[in-house]
Amino acid sequence: MSQTLYEKLWQDHVVHQQADGTALIYIDRHLVHEVTSPQAFEGLKLAGRKPWRVSSIVATADHNTPTDHWERGIEDPVSRLQVETLDANIREVGALAYFPFRDPRQGIVHVVGPESGATLPGMTVVCGDSHTSTHGAFACMAHGIGTSEVEHVLATQCLLQKRSKTMLLQVDGVLGKGVTAKDVALAIIGRIGTAGGTGYAIEFAGSAIRGLSMEGRMTLCNMAIEAGARLGLVAVDEVTIDYLRGRPFAPQGEQWERAVVAWRRLHSDPDAHFDCVVELSAADIRPQVTWGTSPEMVVPVDACVPDPASEPDPTRREGMQRALSYMGLRPNLPIREIWLDKIFIGSCTNSRIEDLRAAAGIVRGRKVAGSIRQALVVPGSGLVKQQAESEGLDQVFIAAGFEWREPGCSMCLAMNADRLEPGERCAATSNRNFEGRQGAGGRTHLVSPEMAAAAAIAGHFCDVGEWL
Amino acid sequence: MDKFVRLEGLVAPLDRANVDTDAIIPKQFLKSIKRSGFGPNLFDEWRYLDVGEPGQDNSRRPLNPDFVLNQPRYQGAQILLARKNFGCGSSREHAPWALLDFGFRAVLAESFADIFFNNCFKNGVLPIVLPATEIDALFALVGATPGYRLLIDLERQQVIRPDGRALPFAVDAFRKECLLNGWDDIGLTLRHAELIKAFEDRRRIEQPWLFA
């Protein structure tokens, strides 16, 4: 019988199934970071349990770590205790790999996993972090879990799950100038809404998706959670296999050959049935900018801020009014007339080498506008940073007036010192524009790295397609 | 985990769609390495007029009088009435921990975000999905009736209004059993340890590169 990719992955991981459909699903890779794991390790210890398979664990510290003055360590004592607790837990328990604070391979867990080859096609990948959906770019069943489930995976190597419904998100055609995977993701969320994917595993397919690099596919799957989906998926192809070849934890030699054969079946069968199909034409997608406090509040750069008065649904209208008030925007203001205070290029959505190359391509030989108070580039990992520096990208950013930082989650969620002050407006390449996300009272506009770079130069939003 | 069988409690309304986990418990409080103590910072940015930081004496902070949970009539509420896509955003289990620590044992909404929904069950908090028309009606009733209470009967899968109207709701059989009994699901899973071991052994032979 024909199967979707999700159904193949599901079937391949069922250890046991109960009468009500709840299944025990085996977990291949467990990514761990400092924020959502301490209570899980403590729970394990209190119950007198041992981790089931420590070689499934890849850990790093990313959310709390500072992105400058590493020689000073972590100055916030509360953050420091959390990072030290992870150090102690991994020291006691063990792991396949641990990239602690200041390790050259440390970085955002969703950047580190794929670049080290610890994320492999066909795996189940979990982490106490919603953006674990990122790893679906490798045809992994990958999703975020809470701390109780982190403990459950540590203790049993399994999770209790119900099978999701399947959604095919078909994007065909060629993306226009300055249109990126981030714009595709935001356009999809604009179309189906932040709850549009709830209960679904979304598979992204079509010629526009096939045309994306692994970095682009990771950006897309990363944002699947912002559409409410449990996970996002892209089928394996040559792009996937080429990316993985030679990575430290990827198989080698005869094992590589065997693995590639197994990976090549990780796609939906041609006549597989999906519970829901959504189609977008790549050519219709313009560079996107969010105007509100939910990723679904998004419009093309050439549009204007919407007017709540034209929204018939009262709950939505109130939500729009509240968002505009929080964002300090008026209805019908052209997006291009929104001026920024800060620029943030980074996060598990858009901090990989390709993102930095694209942004550097825009800023090269130009200067950050005088009205911009701060423009940050935060590479996704130490290895991304090294690579960028070997290509001279750091010098391009610094010459333009950007700050070139150490890797980490940084201003995406502002758990460290990188944050917006109340009222500050930021063009960010991250994934959430919720109230207070980047700092209490901060105002976030989500965009692609290219769009953020162009906004840094101009001081306001502009269509980066016109710069290329 | 505490059992959840029946709950009769005061209802507080939070009339916004897409309430995200950053709003439920802001990130600065996620630096804690404990499971408890998040209640005073539930909805921190809406609840207080100043900026919250870990370690503050929250009893001295200025409250936002306009925020619904600060109104005297909703003090002691155990049931939160919410709108669609409640709990969207991050996977932080600190969100249900904060709700529980504040005193909420149940959330009624038109829909929930997936990870939040799952996290609730692990902590003895019951998330209940009701049709939009019933949610609308409850918002009207709660607003018009000081001291409005509901009875939630998990065994019968019903929310019972004071006027006797019973609103049925769906819940997975397994999750229901766990809540009714206060079961630790790690213990339940480990009853299948032999199956897990056999699955793992087979997988290790078939796809050894997954076990590097």
State residue A178's pLDDT score.
97
Query: Using the beta-carbon criterion (under 8 Å), do B172 and A22 form an inter-chain contact?
Result: yes
Angle between helices B94-102 and B114-121 (to 10 degrees): 50
Of A38, A195, A414, the CB nearest to B33: A38
How far apart are the CA of B90 and the nearest CA of chain A, in angstroms? 5
Q: Which of residues 262-321 of A touch B (CB under 8 A)?
A: 262, 294, 315-316, 318-319
Per-residue tokens: A296: 């679904």
A245-250: long-range pairs with CB below 8 Å, 24+: A247/A115, A247/A116, A247/A117, A248/A116, A248/A117, A249/A96, A249/A97, A249/A116, A249/A117, A249/A118, A249/A120, A249/B212, A250/A117, A250/A120, A250/B209
Of B89, B196, B209, the CB nearest to A255: B209
Among all residues of chain B, which has the CA nearest to that of A257?
A: B209
Question: Which residues of chain B are within 8 Å of residue A36 when distances are taken between CB atoms?
Answer: 30, 91-93
State residue B43's pLDDT score.
98
Q: Which residues contact A197 (CB under 8 A, 6 or more apart)?
A: A167, A224, A227, A228, A229, A230
**How many contacts does A have with B, using Cβ atoms within 8 A?**
191
Asked if B50 has any chain A CB less than 8 Å from its own CB, the reply is no
* DSSP string over B33-82: SSSS--GGGTTHHHHBSS---TT--GGGSPB-TTSGGGSGGGTT--EEE-
Tell which residue, A276, A98, A304, has the closest CA to residue A201: A276
Which H or E run includes A445? strand A443-446
Tell which residue, A233, A248, A261, has the closest CA to residue A118: A248
Q: How many helices (H) and strands (E) does chain A have?
A: 15, 19
| ipTM reported for the complex surpasses 0.85 | yes
Count of Cβ atoms closer than 10 Å to residue A163 Cβ: 17
Question: Which residues of chain B are within 8 Å of residue A132 when distances are taken between CB atoms?
Answer: 91
Burial of B168 (0-12, 13-18, 19+ CB in 10 A): exposed
What phi, psi does B176 have (nearest 5°)? -60, -45
Q: How far apart are CA A256 and CA A258, in angstroms?
A: 5
Asked if B49 has any chain A CB less than 8 Å from its own CB, the reply is no
How far apart are the CA of A215 and the nearest CA of chain B, in angstroms? 22
Q: How far apart are CA A400 and CA B130, in angstroms?
A: 54
Question: Which residues of chain A are within 8 Å of residue B52 when distances are taken between CB atoms?
Answer: 440
Which H or E run includes A300? strand A298-300
SS3 A11: helix
State residue B184's pLDDT score.
83
Q: How confident is the model at residue A377 (pLDDT cuts 50, 70, 90)?
A: very high
State residue A323's pLDDT score.
98
Among all residues of chain B, which has the CA nearest to that of A48?
A: B187
State residue A1's pLDDT score.
84
Contact between residue B136 and residue B110 where contact means Cβ atoms under 8 Å apart: no
Q: Which of B90, B110, B111, B121 to mutate to test binding with chain A, by most A CBs within 10 Å of its CB? A: B90
Question: Which residues of chain A are within 8 Å of residue B33 when distances are taken between CB atoms?
Answer: 38-39, 42, 81-82, 85
Give the distance, in angstroms, between the CA of residue A37 and the centroid of all CA atoms in the same chain: 19
Query: Using the beta-carbon criterion (under 8 Å), do A228 and B114 form an inter-chain contact?
Result: yes
pLDDT, mean over chain A:
97
How far apart are the CA of B6 and the nearest CA of chain A, in angstroms? 23
Of B22, B33, B199, the CB nearest to A82: B33
Count of Cβ atoms closer than 10 Å to residue B73 Cβ: 14
State residue B47's pLDDT score.
97
Query: Using the beta-carbon criterion (under 8 Å), do B119 and A146 form an inter-chain contact?
Result: yes
Of B15, B16, B91, the CB nearest to A128: B91
pTM attached to this predicted model? 0.97
Asked if B105 has any chain A CB less than 8 Å from its own CB, the reply is no
State residue A20's pLDDT score.
87
Q: How confident is the model at residue A235 (pLDDT cuts 50, 70, 90)?
A: very high
Query: Using the beta-carbon criterion (under 8 Å), do B189 and A42 form an inter-chain contact?
Result: no
Per-residue tokens: A227: 């559409």
Contact between residue B139 and residue B66 where contact means Cβ atoms under 8 Å apart: no
Question: Which residues of chain A are within 8 Å of residue B197 when distances are taken between CB atoms?
Answer: none
Tell which residue, B80, B211, B203, has the closest CA to residue B152: B80
- Residues A378-420 have pLDDT tens digits of 999 999 999 999 999 999 999 999 999 999 999 999 999 999 9
Query: Using the beta-carbon criterion (under 8 Å), do A151 and B186 form an inter-chain contact?
Result: yes
Count of Cβ atoms closer than 10 Å to residue A238 Cβ: 9
Q: How far apart are CA B21 and CA A320, in angstroms?
A: 19
Four-CA torsion A380, A386, A387, A388, nearest 10 degrees: 70
State residue B65's pLDDT score.
97
Question: Which residues of chain A are within 8 Å of residue B88 when distances are taken between CB atoms?
Answer: 194-195, 228
State residue B212's pLDDT score.
78
Tell which residue, A68, A98, A104, A105, has the closest CA to residue A83: A98
The length of chain A is 468
Tell which residue, A84, A33, A82, has the closest CA to residue B32: A82
Asked whether the predicted pLDDT for residue A173 surpasses 90, the reply is yes
* Residue A334: strand pairing partners: A304
- Residues A302-354 have pLDDT tens digits of 999 999 999 999 989 999 999 999 999 999 999 999 999 999 999 999 999 99
Q: How far apart are CA B198 and CA B204, in angstroms?
A: 10
CA distances for A305 relative to A342, A364, A443, angstroms: 20, 30, 15
Query: Using the beta-carbon criterion (under 8 Å), do A18 and B203 form an inter-chain contact?
Result: no
Contact between residue A449 and residue A181 where contact means Cβ atoms under 8 Å apart: no
- Residues A270-281 have pLDDT tens digits of 999 999 999 999
**Parallel, antiparallel or unpaired: strands A23-26 and A14-17:** antiparallel
pLDDT tens per residue across all 212 residues of chain B:
889 999 999 999 999 999 999 999 999 999 999 999 999 999 999 999 999 999 999 999 999 999 999 999 999 999 999 999 999 999 999 999 999 999 999 999 999 999 999 999 999 999 999 999 999 999 999 999 999 999 999 999 999 999 999 999 999 999 999 999 999 899 999 999 999 999 999 999 999 999 97
Q: What is the mean pLDDT of residues A120-137?
A: 98
Q: Which of B36, B99, B115 to mutate to test binding with chain A, by most A CBs within 10 Å of its CB? A: B115
